[in-house]
């Protein structure tokens, strides 16, 4: 029997003890996670960022460049974000999703243009099958333009999340410097290429799922922004597509996952590839992940760096504004095909 979907948020549907995935979450047979066919002991680059500040900088820059080129993602340790800031972020995220429904729904919206909103799945207005996820999406840079819109419950939310955002921005800028250098560009090339810059964040909440083999937390997709810094709690769920196989990126304490998004693929003229990744869910544990999406400002003109294009590697894309690209992102839905094709030369 099909179960009626009567709640706005998945969290509240699940807490009414569903023992089956409602029909609107069930993927067609050809598009299920195939959980037994996932590599779970893969070696994934773990880069120690401590080295960026010492005599070994060029070595670490090289490692970052290689990971971006080969995989489009890597993990970092000694990333400079204090443990209490990271722990606070995860704690307040959990507290938020455990608030009473009426309290959470104060920020609910299905309009992707809203700069602060709680929603569910990906884009409920356009998608056919729902995803096993609720999420709070926040714009975070410049912080003072947005922080007053953020939830004020838990009472420490704005302070704790704001602190995390300031720290992730600093880390993003350090990574952009290293990435620029790894491509042989001036250190500040990528930072400048993103114009006035923007920073968005999602707080993803994946409740336990009675039939994880039928659905996704998030199906395979590429991130639209330049680079993503992903914080996961202790529960596995992130998988990345590498050499034709899905690879589990199981959380390691005190590390963050970095991945290349579509804008960095363009800026690097396809030297780095935006990586396909997904989130799966499980039958027993809730899972929280907090991606920071470091982006160009909407008016930034995005194009392949001229200094790395040559006769052998001609520019692969025409220039476009981030806004031109981003308008399609929410409407097209998460999909394997890239939103970049229309800008290809």
Q: Are 125 and 110 in contact (CB under 8 A)?
A: yes
Q: Which is nearer to ligand OGA, 135 or 157 (CB)?
A: 135
Compute the least distance from the CB of residue 138 to ligand OGA, in Å.
Answer: 13
Rounded Cα distance between 86 and 288, Å, is 13
| Residues within the interface to ligand OGA (CB under 6 A) | 202, 204, 218, 223, 232, 237-238, 277, 279, 289, 291
Residue nearest to ligand OGA (CB): 289
Q: How far is the CB of 239 from ligand OGA (least distance, A)?
A: 8
SS (H, E, C) 108-142: ECCCCCCCEEEEECCCCCCCCCCCCCEEEEEEEEC
CB count within 10 Å of CB 81 equals 21
> Residue 202 touches which of ligand OGA, Ni ion, none (CB < 5 to 8 A by kind)?
ligand OGA
CB of 223 to ligand OGA, least distance (A): 5
Check residue 275 and report its DSSP letter. Answer: P
For residue 299, the minimal CB distance to ligand OGA (Å) is: 23
Total residue count of the chain as it appears in this document? 345
- Local structure of 312: helix, strand or coil: coil
Q: Cα(263)–Cα(196) distance, rounded to whole angstroms?
A: 15
Looking at the Cβ atoms of 73 and 189, the one nearer to ligand OGA is 73
261 binds, among Ni ion, ligand OGA, none (CB under 5 to 8 A by kind): none
Mind giving me the DSSP string for 41-63? S----EEEGGGGGSTTHHHHHHH
Cβ nearer to ligand OGA, comparing 122 with 189 = 122
Q: Which CB, 291 or 296, lies closer to ligand OGA?
A: 291
C-beta nearest to Ni ion: residue: 223
Answer with the entry of ligand OGA, Ni ion, none that 220 interacts with (C-beta below 5 to 8 A by kind): none
Q: How far is the CB of 13 from ligand OGA (least distance, A)?
A: 19
Considering beta carbons, is residue 146 or 293 the nearer one to ligand OGA? 293
What values do phi and psi take at 118, rounded to 5? -100, 135
Question: Are 272 and 182 contacting, i.e. CB atoms less than 8 angstroms apart?
Answer: no
Site of interaction with Ni ion (CB under 5 A): 223
The residue among 60 and 257 lying less far from ligand OGA, judged by its C-beta, is 257
Q: Which does 339 bind (CB under 5 to 8 A by kind): Ni ion, ligand OGA, none?
A: none
> Which of ligand OGA, Ni ion, none lies near 44, with the C-beta cut-off 5 to 8 A by kind?
none
CA angle 329, 330, 336 (to 5 degrees): 55
Q: Which helix (H) or strand (E) holds 308?
A: none
């Amino acid at each position: 029997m099909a179960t009626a979907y009567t709640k706005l948020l998945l969290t509240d549907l699940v807490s009414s003890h569903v023992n089956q995935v409602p029909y609107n979450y069930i993927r067609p047979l050809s598009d299920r996670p195939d959980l037994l066919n996932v590599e779970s002991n893969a070696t994934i680059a773990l880069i120690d960022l401590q080295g960026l500040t010492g005599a070994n900088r060029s070595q670490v820059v090289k490692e970052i460049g290689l990971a971006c080129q080969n995989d489009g993602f890597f993990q970092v340790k000694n990333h400079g974000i204090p443990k209490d800031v990271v722990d606070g972020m995860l704690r307040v995220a959990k507290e938020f999703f455990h608030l009473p429904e009426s309290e959470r729904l104060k920020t609910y919206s299905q309009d992707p243009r809203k700069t602060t909103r709680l929603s569910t799945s990906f884009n409920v207005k356009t998608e056919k099958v729902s995803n096993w996820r609720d999420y709070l999406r926040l714009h975070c840079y410049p912080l003072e333009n947005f922080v007053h819109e953020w939830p004020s419950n838990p009472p420490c939310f704005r302070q704790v999340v704001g602190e995390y955002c300031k720290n992730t921005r600093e880390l993003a800028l350090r990574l952009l410097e290293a990435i620029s250098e790894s491509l042989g560009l001036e250190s500040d090339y990528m930072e400048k290429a993103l114009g006035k810059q923007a920073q968005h964040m999602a707080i993803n909440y994946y409740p336990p799922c009675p039939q994880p083999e039928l659905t996704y937390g998030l199906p395979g997709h590429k991130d639209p922004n330049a680079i993503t810094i992903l914080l996961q709690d202790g529960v596995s769920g992130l998988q990345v597509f590498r050499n034709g196989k899905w690879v589990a990126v199981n959380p390691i304490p005190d590390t963050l996952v970095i991945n290349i998004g579509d804008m960095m693929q363009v800026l690097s003229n396809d030297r780095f590839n935006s990586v396909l990744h997904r989130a799966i869910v499980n039958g027993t544990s809730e899972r929280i992940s907090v991606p920071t999406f470091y982006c160009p400002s909407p008016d930034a003109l995005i194009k392949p760096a001229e200094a790395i294009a040559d006769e052998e590697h001609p520019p692969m894309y025409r220039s476009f504004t981030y806004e031109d690209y981003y308008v399609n992102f929410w409407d097209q839905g998460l999909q394997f095909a890239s939103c970049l094709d229309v800008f290809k030369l």
